[in-house]
Structure 1
Amino acid sequence: MDKSLLRQAIVAKLTAELDTLTRAALMAREEATSEESKAEGKYDTRGQEAAYLAEGQARLALELQETITTYQALSLREFSPGETIDVGAIVTLKARGKSSAYFLGPRSGGLDFEIDGRALVIVTPQSPLGRQLPGRHVGDTVELPGRGGPVPHQIASIE
């Protein structure tokens, strides 16, 4: 898989999310400073609530921008089958006749993509699966939660 396409897809999705969040933060800021939000009594906190919302959204936007910068700078190398898993690896797991692919990324776990017809989910080293992957090899087993308890998944490939 061309990891540069994956990076482009990740950055595009995060940039779209950043644009939406930035617009929402600006709207909340406008609401907080609007004449209509001025307190009409001691229990009227609309303006203050809007200010808190704007501050939180601005903080999230800054974190999102840092995530975009992190992905833009991330070294995306190909992993050979004998290597151990590390950040930047695409890992395919197999269990019960089905396979699933994961990208071990530095941030934004849970985002999912389809690249070249292949579904992929980002996991981070802080996630339950992401904590199990670093240092593992093809053929090793990791466990994912299932309905009846943990389900062993074999590492089928590392890219």
Structure 2
Amino acid sequence: MDKFLLQQQVLERLAEDLERVEQAARAAHETATHEENIAENKYDTLGLEAAYLATGQARRAEAIRQAMAHWRQFRPHPYDTSRGIQLGALVCLTDADGKRQQLFLGPDGGSMTLGSGTQRVQVISGEAPLGRAVLGKCEGDEVSIQIGAIRQQFEVLWVQ
């Protein structure tokens, strides 16, 4: 599986998200500033609510722009067994039931599931609980995470 292709898919998905958020921010701003939405009394809050929404959407758009900048600068390196799993690694885990999952560790802001052919790859950051758990591990190592009251165990099958 090509890490560069995965990185490009993350950037494309973030660009799509940014476009949607910017459209929503513009619509909320237009609603907030439209003359028909000027408050006539203290209970008329449509304009105020739209302004809050526009502000939130603008913040979300900035967060996506930051994530895109990090992903553009990101350079995944080949797996180095002496360092173990690092950001940029493509990892295959298996659980106790034999169910496999593939992870691509990257910078913050790119948490999503991508398809590559018939395979699914979960993109996570090194700050995610599972991301933190696999950092520094090698093929054959056990990985354990606690999610609520449940402890999940995985084995690292392979790393690229």
TM-score (norm 2): 0.91
Deviation at 1:69, TM superposition (A): 1.1
Quote the residue 2:79 is aligned against.
Answer: 79
- Give structure 1 stretches of 5+ with no counterpart: none
Quote the residue 1:42 is aligned against.
Answer: 42
Quote the residue 2:28 is aligned against.
Answer: 28
Q: Percent identity?
A: 34
Question: Structure 1 residues 72 and 97 mapped into 2: Cα distance closer, same or farther (>3 Å)?
Answer: same
Alignment check: 8 A CA contact 2:67 2:108 kept: yes
Alignment of 1:112 with 2:136, yes or no, is: no
- Give structure 2 stretches of 5+ with no counterpart: none
Quote the residue 1:133 is aligned against.
Answer: 134
Alignment check: 8 A CA contact 1:86 1:104 kept: yes
Give the aligned residue type for 1:115.
S
Count of equivalent residues: 159
Q: RMSD value over aligned CA atoms? A: 1.9
Q: SS of the residue aligned with 1:150?
A: strand
Alignment check: 8 A CA contact 2:10 2:110 kept: no
Q: SS of the residue aligned with 1:12?
A: helix
Question: Hey, which bits of structure 1, 4+ residues long, moved more than 6 A?
Answer: none
Q: SS of the residue aligned with 1:86?
A: coil
Q: Distance in 1 between matches of 2:136 and 2:7?
A: 23
Quote the residue 1:64 is aligned against.
Answer: 64
Alignment check: 8 A CA contact 1:80 1:158 kept: no
Alignment check: 8 A CA contact 1:85 1:135 kept: yes
Deviation at 1:82, TM superposition (A): 5.3
Quote the residue 1:7 is aligned against.
Answer: 7
Question: Structure 1 residues 44 and 102 mapped into 2: Cα distance closer, same or farther (>3 Å)?
Answer: same
